[in-house]
Structure 1
Amino acid sequence: MRHAFATATMMLALIGAGAAAAAPVTTVTTDNGDVLADENGMTLYTFDKDTTGTSNCYDKCAVNWPPLAASDGDMADGTYSIVERKDGTKQWAKDGMPLYLWIKDENSGDTTGDGVNDVWHVARP
Protein backbone atom coordinates (compact mmCIF):
# COMPACT_ATOMS: atom_id res chain seq x y z
CA MET A 1 0.00 0.00 0.00
CA ARG A 2 2.80 2.38 0.89
CA HIS A 3 4.45 1.77 -2.52
CA ALA A 4 1.19 2.55 -4.36
CA PHE A 5 0.81 5.82 -2.42
CA ALA A 6 4.40 6.84 -3.16
CA THR A 7 3.94 6.04 -6.86
CA ALA A 8 0.69 8.00 -7.04
CA THR A 9 2.26 10.97 -5.25
CA MET A 10 5.22 10.93 -7.62
CA MET A 11 2.91 10.81 -10.68
CA LEU A 12 0.90 13.78 -9.40
CA ALA A 13 4.12 15.74 -8.85
CA LEU A 14 5.21 15.01 -12.41
CA ILE A 15 1.84 16.03 -13.82
CA GLY A 16 1.93 19.24 -11.75
CA ALA A 17 5.41 20.05 -13.01
CA GLY A 18 4.12 20.11 -16.57
CA ALA A 19 1.04 22.19 -15.76
CA ALA A 20 0.55 25.50 -17.49
CA ALA A 21 1.27 28.58 -15.45
CA ALA A 22 -1.41 31.15 -14.62
CA ALA A 23 -0.87 34.85 -15.12
CA PRO A 24 2.06 36.03 -12.94
CA VAL A 25 0.06 38.97 -11.64
CA THR A 26 -0.78 40.18 -8.16
CA THR A 27 -2.31 43.33 -6.64
CA VAL A 28 -0.31 45.82 -4.60
CA THR A 29 -1.44 48.88 -2.67
CA THR A 30 0.37 52.05 -3.71
CA ASP A 31 0.06 55.80 -3.18
CA ASN A 32 -1.99 55.59 -6.39
CA GLY A 33 -4.42 53.00 -4.96
CA ASP A 34 -4.53 49.29 -5.74
CA VAL A 35 -2.71 48.38 -8.96
CA LEU A 36 -1.70 45.23 -10.78
CA ALA A 37 1.90 44.14 -10.35
CA ASP A 38 4.17 41.33 -11.49
CA GLU A 39 5.31 38.61 -9.10
CA ASN A 40 8.01 40.94 -7.74
CA GLY A 41 5.49 43.66 -6.88
CA MET A 42 6.51 45.88 -9.79
CA THR A 43 3.60 47.92 -11.14
CA LEU A 44 2.05 46.96 -14.47
CA TYR A 45 0.84 49.46 -17.05
CA THR A 46 -1.34 49.68 -20.14
CA PHE A 47 -0.64 51.73 -23.28
CA ASP A 48 -3.38 53.82 -24.94
CA LYS A 49 -1.93 53.13 -28.40
CA ASP A 50 -2.52 49.37 -28.02
CA THR A 51 -5.76 47.79 -29.16
CA THR A 52 -7.45 44.74 -27.72
CA GLY A 53 -5.16 41.77 -28.34
CA THR A 54 -2.45 43.84 -30.07
CA SER A 55 0.72 45.43 -28.74
CA ASN A 56 2.03 48.55 -30.46
CA CYS A 57 5.09 48.99 -28.23
CA TYR A 58 8.30 47.81 -29.93
CA ASP A 59 11.94 48.80 -30.30
CA LYS A 60 12.85 51.71 -27.97
CA CYS A 61 9.34 51.69 -26.55
CA ALA A 62 9.75 48.05 -25.46
CA VAL A 63 13.15 48.85 -23.92
CA ASN A 64 11.54 51.50 -21.70
CA TRP A 65 8.29 49.55 -21.25
CA PRO A 66 9.23 45.85 -21.14
CA PRO A 67 6.27 43.60 -21.95
CA LEU A 68 5.13 41.24 -19.19
CA ALA A 69 6.47 38.12 -20.90
CA ALA A 70 4.48 34.92 -21.21
CA SER A 71 6.14 31.54 -21.77
CA ASP A 72 5.12 28.92 -24.30
CA GLY A 73 3.48 26.77 -21.61
CA ASP A 74 1.39 29.60 -20.15
CA MET A 75 -2.35 29.64 -20.74
CA ALA A 76 -5.03 32.31 -20.54
CA ASP A 77 -6.82 32.46 -17.20
CA GLY A 78 -10.05 34.38 -16.61
CA THR A 79 -9.54 38.04 -17.52
CA TYR A 80 -5.89 37.35 -18.37
CA SER A 81 -4.97 36.40 -21.91
CA ILE A 82 -1.79 36.05 -23.94
CA VAL A 83 -0.99 38.32 -26.87
CA GLU A 84 1.39 37.23 -29.59
CA ARG A 85 3.75 40.07 -30.47
CA LYS A 86 4.89 40.73 -34.03
CA ASP A 87 8.38 39.47 -33.11
CA GLY A 88 6.89 36.08 -32.13
CA THR A 89 7.25 36.56 -28.37
CA LYS A 90 4.22 36.48 -26.11
CA GLN A 91 3.00 38.82 -23.43
CA TRP A 92 0.28 38.81 -20.82
CA ALA A 93 -2.79 41.02 -21.21
CA LYS A 94 -5.71 41.90 -18.94
CA ASP A 95 -9.09 42.27 -20.59
CA GLY A 96 -7.20 42.02 -23.88
CA MET A 97 -4.92 44.97 -23.15
CA PRO A 98 -1.18 44.10 -23.10
CA LEU A 99 0.65 44.63 -19.80
CA TYR A 100 4.04 46.32 -19.39
CA LEU A 101 6.58 47.23 -16.74
CA TRP A 102 8.25 50.67 -16.60
CA ILE A 103 12.05 50.79 -16.62
CA LYS A 104 12.14 53.73 -14.19
CA ASP A 105 10.18 52.03 -11.41
CA GLU A 106 12.80 50.90 -8.92
CA ASN A 107 10.85 49.44 -6.01
CA SER A 108 7.75 47.39 -5.45
CA GLY A 109 4.73 49.68 -5.55
CA ASP A 110 6.40 52.50 -7.51
CA THR A 111 3.99 54.07 -10.02
CA THR A 112 6.28 56.60 -11.71
CA GLY A 113 5.06 55.52 -15.17
CA ASP A 114 1.46 56.52 -14.57
CA GLY A 115 0.52 59.34 -16.95
CA VAL A 116 3.77 59.34 -18.97
CA ASN A 117 3.04 61.17 -22.24
CA ASP A 118 -0.65 60.92 -21.31
CA VAL A 119 -0.73 57.41 -22.84
CA TRP A 120 0.59 55.13 -20.06
CA HIS A 121 -1.60 54.18 -17.11
CA VAL A 122 -1.33 51.87 -14.13
CA ALA A 123 -3.26 48.65 -14.70
CA ARG A 124 -6.09 48.25 -12.23
CA PRO A 125 -7.42 45.01 -10.70
Structure 2
Amino acid sequence: MKTTLLAAAVLVAFTGMAHAGTNTFQTVSSNSGPVLAGQNGRTLYTYDQDARDVSACYGPCAANWPPYIANSAAQPFAHYTFVVRTDGQRQWALNGKPLYFRAQDQKPGDTTGQDAAGHWQVARPA
Protein backbone atom coordinates (compact mmCIF):
# COMPACT_ATOMS: atom_id res chain seq x y z
CA MET A 1 0.00 0.00 0.00
CA LYS A 2 2.76 2.46 0.95
CA THR A 3 4.68 1.58 -2.21
CA THR A 4 1.58 2.20 -4.34
CA LEU A 5 1.00 5.59 -2.70
CA LEU A 6 4.64 6.57 -3.14
CA ALA A 7 4.58 5.53 -6.80
CA ALA A 8 1.39 7.53 -7.37
CA ALA A 9 2.91 10.60 -5.70
CA VAL A 10 6.04 10.35 -7.87
CA LEU A 11 3.91 9.97 -11.01
CA VAL A 12 1.85 13.05 -10.10
CA ALA A 13 5.03 15.06 -9.44
CA PHE A 14 6.56 14.12 -12.82
CA THR A 15 3.31 14.74 -14.65
CA GLY A 16 3.11 18.20 -13.11
CA MET A 17 6.68 18.93 -14.19
CA ALA A 18 5.99 17.85 -17.75
CA HIS A 19 3.11 20.29 -17.97
CA ALA A 20 4.64 23.11 -15.94
CA GLY A 21 3.54 26.42 -17.33
CA THR A 22 0.43 25.21 -19.14
CA ASN A 23 -1.75 27.06 -16.62
CA THR A 24 0.34 30.19 -17.14
CA PHE A 25 -2.17 31.62 -19.62
CA GLN A 26 -5.91 32.09 -19.64
CA THR A 27 -8.53 33.69 -21.82
CA VAL A 28 -10.50 36.58 -20.32
CA SER A 29 -13.38 38.63 -21.67
CA SER A 30 -12.86 42.27 -22.60
CA ASN A 31 -14.75 44.99 -24.44
CA SER A 32 -12.94 43.88 -27.60
CA GLY A 33 -13.70 40.17 -27.15
CA PRO A 34 -11.55 37.39 -25.70
CA VAL A 35 -7.96 38.32 -24.91
CA LEU A 36 -4.94 36.37 -23.75
CA ALA A 37 -4.09 36.99 -20.12
CA GLY A 38 -1.37 35.96 -17.72
CA GLN A 39 -1.84 33.77 -14.69
CA ASN A 40 -2.91 36.89 -12.76
CA GLY A 41 -5.77 37.49 -15.22
CA ARG A 42 -4.33 40.71 -16.65
CA THR A 43 -4.30 41.26 -20.41
CA LEU A 44 -1.14 40.51 -22.38
CA TYR A 45 0.16 42.61 -25.29
CA THR A 46 2.65 42.40 -28.13
CA TYR A 47 4.89 45.22 -29.32
CA ASP A 48 5.24 45.86 -33.06
CA GLN A 49 8.84 47.07 -32.61
CA ASP A 50 9.97 43.64 -31.34
CA ALA A 51 11.72 41.33 -33.77
CA ARG A 52 10.84 37.65 -33.68
CA ASP A 53 12.29 36.15 -30.48
CA VAL A 54 13.80 39.50 -29.40
CA SER A 55 12.45 42.10 -26.99
CA ALA A 56 13.04 45.79 -27.76
CA CYS A 57 11.30 47.02 -24.58
CA TYR A 58 13.71 47.95 -21.77
CA GLY A 59 14.13 50.80 -19.28
CA PRO A 60 11.17 53.22 -19.22
CA CYS A 61 9.37 51.07 -21.80
CA ALA A 62 9.53 48.01 -19.51
CA ALA A 63 8.33 50.13 -16.56
CA ASN A 64 5.15 50.95 -18.50
CA TRP A 65 4.96 47.57 -20.22
CA PRO A 66 6.29 44.96 -17.76
CA PRO A 67 7.48 41.81 -19.53
CA TYR A 68 5.69 38.58 -18.64
CA ILE A 69 8.56 36.73 -16.96
CA ALA A 70 8.41 32.93 -16.78
CA ASN A 71 9.06 31.21 -13.48
CA SER A 72 12.00 28.83 -13.23
CA ALA A 73 9.82 25.69 -13.57
CA ALA A 74 8.00 26.87 -16.71
CA GLN A 75 8.46 24.96 -19.94
CA PRO A 76 7.57 26.08 -23.47
CA PHE A 77 4.52 24.42 -25.01
CA ALA A 78 2.40 24.68 -28.17
CA HIS A 79 2.74 28.27 -29.50
CA TYR A 80 4.28 29.56 -26.24
CA THR A 81 8.06 29.92 -26.02
CA PHE A 82 10.62 32.12 -24.29
CA VAL A 83 12.64 35.16 -25.27
CA VAL A 84 15.81 35.64 -23.23
CA ARG A 85 16.09 39.22 -22.03
CA THR A 86 19.43 41.04 -21.71
CA ASP A 87 19.41 40.35 -17.95
CA GLY A 88 19.00 36.60 -18.58
CA GLN A 89 15.34 36.38 -17.53
CA ARG A 90 13.03 34.32 -19.69
CA GLN A 91 10.05 36.25 -21.03
CA TRP A 92 7.02 34.44 -22.40
CA ALA A 93 6.39 34.78 -26.13
CA LEU A 94 3.49 33.79 -28.36
CA ASN A 95 4.56 32.65 -31.83
CA GLY A 96 7.91 34.35 -31.21
CA LYS A 97 6.39 37.69 -30.14
CA PRO A 98 7.38 38.69 -26.57
CA LEU A 99 4.42 39.24 -24.22
CA TYR A 100 3.93 42.21 -21.90
CA PHE A 101 1.46 43.56 -19.39
CA ARG A 102 0.29 47.19 -19.38
CA ALA A 103 1.08 48.90 -16.07
CA GLN A 104 -2.14 50.96 -16.31
CA ASP A 105 -4.40 47.89 -16.59
CA GLN A 106 -5.94 47.34 -13.17
CA LYS A 107 -8.17 44.29 -13.48
CA PRO A 108 -8.83 41.30 -15.72
CA GLY A 109 -10.30 42.39 -19.05
CA ASP A 110 -8.76 45.89 -19.04
CA THR A 111 -7.27 46.69 -22.46
CA THR A 112 -5.97 50.24 -21.97
CA GLY A 113 -2.93 49.46 -24.10
CA GLN A 114 -4.71 48.41 -27.29
CA ASP A 115 -3.07 50.32 -30.17
CA ALA A 116 -1.14 52.55 -27.72
CA ALA A 117 1.32 54.72 -29.65
CA GLY A 118 0.26 52.72 -32.70
CA HIS A 119 2.65 49.92 -31.71
CA TRP A 120 0.94 47.84 -29.00
CA GLN A 121 -1.63 45.11 -29.69
CA VAL A 122 -3.74 42.97 -27.41
CA ALA A 123 -2.59 39.36 -27.59
CA ARG A 124 -5.30 36.94 -28.65
CA PRO A 125 -5.54 33.32 -27.47
CA ALA A 126 -3.62 30.88 -29.69
TM-score by length of 1: 0.90
For residues 12 and 93 of structure 2, what CA distance do their matches in structure 1 show?
29
Partner amino acid for 2:26?
A: T
Q: 2:115: which partner in 1?
A: 115
Residues 15-65 of structure 1, C-alpha deviations (whole Å, 9 max, x = no match): 356556225111111101111001121000000100110000001110110
For residues 16 and 96 of structure 2, what CA distance do their matches in structure 1 show?
28
Query: Shift of residue 5 of structure 1?
Result: 1.3
Quote the sequence identity (%): 41
- The structure that has the greater radius of gyration is 1
User: 1:48 and 2:48 equivalent?
Assistant: yes
For residues 8 and 120 of structure 2, what CA distance do their matches in structure 1 show?
47
For residues 28 and 17 of structure 1, what CA distance do their matches in structure 2 show?
24
For residues 21 and 15 of structure 1, what CA distance do their matches in structure 2 show?
10
Residues 64-94 of structure 1, C-alpha deviations (whole Å, 9 max, x = no match): 1000001233221010001101121110000
**Runs of 5+ in structure 2 lacking a partner?**
none
- Output aligned runs, 1:1-125, within 5 Å: 2-16=1-15, 18-19=17-18, 21-23=20-22, 24-125=24-125
TM-score by length of 2: 0.90
**Counterpart contact for 1:28–1:34, Cα < 8 Å:** yes
**Runs of 5+ in structure 1 lacking a partner?**
none
